[in-house]
Amino acid sequence: MTVPEKNRRQQEDEALESGAVYQDVKGRRTADPGDGAALAHSEADLNAEHLRRGEVGPGAPEE
């Protein structure tokens, strides 16, 4: 990794850690808090749908 790539990556990581940028589990990023909340809600709705169907994710115990 070159120095500019490393610096860019470090800046991206710092933005995520500080809350300046929001990222969902699919890697979508936004700096807008409203969009970040919308992504989180859509992901939560999708997860709830999977649970209703009885689908279990990796690492989750099956009952």
HEC string for the chain: CCHHHHHHHHHHHHHHHHCCCEECCCCCEECCHHHHHHHHHHHHHHHHHHHHCCCCCCCCCCC
Hey, what amino acid is at 7?
A: N
Residue 5 lies in a domain: no
Domain enclosing residue 30, as ranges:
11-52
The pTM (predicted TM-score) of the whole model is: 0.54
pLDDT at 59: 52
pLDDT digits (tens, 9 = 90+) for 5-60: 778 888 888 887 887 788 877 778 888 888 888 888 888 898 888 888 888 766 55
Residue 60 lies in a domain: no
Residue 16 lies in a domain: yes
Residue 61 lies in a domain: no
Neighbours of 45 (CB within 10 A): 10
Quote the number of domains for the chain.
1
Cα torsion 33, 30, 35, 28 to 10°: value is -140
Residue 21 lies in a domain: yes
- Which tokens in the block code for residue 25? 């589990």
Residue 37 lies in a domain: yes
